[in-house]
A and B are shown apart, each in its own frame.
Chain A
Amino acid sequence: MGYVAIKGGGQAIEGTKQVFDYLRTRQGDTSVPLDTSTIENQLRLLHSRVISEGGVYHPRLASLAIKQAQGDTLEAAFALRAYRSTQPRLVETPALNTGEMRITRRISSAFKDIPGGQMLGATTDYHLRLMRLELLNESPEQFSEIAKSWFSGIDVDVIPDTFPKVLEGLRAEGLLPEIDQRTRGQVPFDITREPLIFPVSRSAALATMTRAEQGSLLAMAYSNMRGYGDVHPTVAELRVGYLPVLLPHPITGDLTEIGEVEVTECEVIAMYESNEANDKPTFTLGYGVCFGHNEVKAISMAILDRALQKGMKDGPTNPSEDPEFVLLHVDGIDSMGFCSHYKMPHYVTFQSDMDRLRKTQQKQDVKEPVV
């Protein structure tokens, strides 16, 4: 096999891999390698974020990605995304109904009480953000005692598996727009197969945002919330739980559950508007959903969904309503890659820049000779 021998550049790259792994492992004799299950369980929300940005629901590999990237969420999501690229597409599920989610948390800000009740679940919303110093010296015994004792005294049969959707109530009252039947049976935009060609569909915007980098989405949504926008959202429902993944049985054709994925879903209600000239005005909606437990992302996505729908219909009046501005800048893999590329050699282009500047300076000197 005729290959080019490794010289200076190649050896330098080998060196970077070695020192990177040294930093990961230099903790000391008493340290143990990170366990992927530990990452999935004890760094649960970090894990959710990486699955969501990686765009493939693979909990074990998401943990591995976090481990090998030494905690860098952009790098970890990148590794997962690249892995996804190598997997062949076997089959597509039909659209899955989040009304069938096995709920672990579900709230609505729009109403004091809702059918099924407000189930707060594992939220940090009402915690005091004080340092829990007792966790500095948590012993394995204290650790395992927490999980062991949690279920004692709870009547699990009383807890409902799922809850009706809050929006259904509003829809029944005619306060929401009718579902556009034309969207039934439409093929959703496939962000992994098609490039964004503007103007894009709402489906394309949602597909882009569901695997967007959380901070970018939050910043854009925040700009809208703070006053650059008009959405004024109320959270109709936020639900976190496990969505059954259904595929047609190979012989009977019946939809069969093959597993479940954790998702976070948020539906926001925004300012009302008229639909057509003579129709009654209704509330407008924004929708956000993502893999894993990530509420900030789902809410940001729902707000941006509403803002972009408005922007696509009436023309953007601020950056958060501009589809090109939002959708082209929220993908973490694209943005971090390009940011990092500035560290690569650019000396030929710089040589060219120096030539231009020197020439321009020369012309300046000729115009105004120093006396």
Chain B
Amino acid sequence: MSSYDTSASYPFGFLDEYAKKEVRRTTLKAVAIPGYQVPYSSREMPMGRGFGTGGLQLTLALIGKGETLKVIDQGSDDSVNAVNLRSFIEMTCQGIETTTLTDEADILQSRHRIPEKPLREDQLLVLQVPYPDPLVVVEPSEDKRKLLHGEADYSRLLVKLYEDIVKFNEITISHRYPTRINDHYVIDPSPIPRWDVLKINQSKALILFGAGREKKIYAVPPYTKAEPLAFEDVPFRVEDFTDEKGQRRVCKRCNCKSSFLDEFVDSKTGEKVYQCSDTDWCNEQLVLKTDIEEAEAVNG
């Protein structure tokens, strides 16, 4: 475990009860007004702003003894940000369990990915958000942006997307794709790839978004419409994993053809490798792959 002093007397969940109540009240209003960024005071945490303090405050205010937590970053439980957050939550929430299995988690806190496996009604997803407001790119004043959001006036954002199309023949937004919730507020869904944006629509699980530095919480309730902004003649498209020959790339480890893949250079062989970003999904698929291979070996 971590080398920090765990005997310091912090309350369960590190935050004092007033801080937790404020987060909880804010969250309820966020759920009642889908996609609206509700301001809150956002306490300082021992990790830096930008390292997930918003998502962390949500988890700390919500989690209870006996619950199971999964923390991922870039889809992986072992990525440094996830490791750091998970040890902190373990240290300050005595009585919770942690897991790498998506299936076992009651609460999942994630940076930059939504798990490949669809979440259930009894699960809760907390996403870490650096920039909560999609209108920042067209209007620097928060004051003015709030009115635009209130009126659902996203014309300047659409013009910006259109300018992209004129220039590049494509909408060039990669991650943080602006998505309209319940026909009103357009959100920044956090830096998840376009691949994951469609999972927000009609999700069985509640999805909460925490921006610690910007001090906002927003939410997409379950069974809620979430539409990425697009034009009739330029539809929304997810990332393309086909190779030069037109074949869909597969994960080198588990053979999966349907997941978001990380692309990197193997530090030992020097060759380009494609592997599932979602490590738990990859483990599950690997078991399936092994089962299939064994079955084939037996049947000849």
Interface residues in chain A, defined as those with a beta carbon under 8 Å from any beta carbon in chain B: 1-4, 6-10, 12-14, 17, 78-79, 81-82, 84-89, 192-199, 324, 328, 333-334, 336-342, 344-349, 351-356, 359-360, 363-364, 367
Contact = CB atoms under 8 A, between A and B. Distances in A.
Contacts of B191: 346, 348-349
Interface in B162-213: 168-170, 172-176, 191-195, 213
A17 B3 CA distance: 9
A367 B170 CA distance: 13
B130 A347 contact: no
A356 B130 contact: no
Of B78, B192, B195, which is in contact with the most chain A CB atoms at under 10 Å from its CB? B78
Given A3-B1, A198-B142, A341 B51 contact: yes
Interface string B253-287: 00000001111100000000000010000000000
8 contacts: A6-B1, A9-B79, A199-B143, A347-B262, A348-B260, A351-B263, A353-B175, A354-B263
B142 A324 contact: yes
A197 B14 CA distance: 26
B169 A12 contact: no
A351 B87 contact: no
Given A195-B39, A341-B48, A367 B263 contact: no
B80 A345 contact: yes
A333 B41 CA distance: 14
B78 A351 contact: no
B40 A195 contact: yes
B73 interface: yes
The 5 closest A-B pairs by CB, nearest first: A341-B50, A337-B49, A337-B48, A352-B174, A2-B97
B263 A340 contact: no
Nearest to B263: A351
B240 A355 contact: yes
Majority DSSP secondary structure for residues of B touching A: loop
Interface string B36-55: 00011111111011110100
Interface in B85-119: 86-87, 90, 97-100, 112-113
Given A341-B48, A341-B49, A348-B277, A360 B170 contact: yes
A194 to B, nearest CB: 5
A117 B252 CA distance: 80
A351 B97 contact: no
Nearest to B164: A360
Contacts of A1: 97
Majority DSSP secondary structure for residues of A touching B: helix
A84 B113 contact: no
Nearest to A16: B80
A128 to B, nearest CB: 40
A2 B68 contact: yes
A363 to B, nearest CB: 4
Interface stretch (B15-23, B149-157, B223-231): B15-23
Nearest to B38: A195
A82 B10 CA distance: 12
Contacts of A192: 41, 43
Contacts of A79: 46
A236 to B, nearest CB: 32
B49 A3 contact: no
Contacts of A6: 1, 83
Contact of B193 (A193, A333, A352, A367): A352
A347 B75 CA distance: 10
Contacts of B123: none
A347 B264 contact: yes
A2 B170 CA distance: 47
B194 A347 contact: no
Contact of B50 (A81, A328, A340, A367): A340
Contact of A348 (B16, B100, B169, B175): B175
A269 B73 CA distance: 52
A338 to B, nearest CB: 4
B289 interface: no
Contacts of A354: 263
A355 B169 contact: no
A71 B57 CA distance: 28
Contacts of A194: 41
A17 B271 CA distance: 33
A347 B15 contact: no
A344 B51 contact: yes
B80 A344 contact: yes
B27 interface: no
A173 B45 CA distance: 49
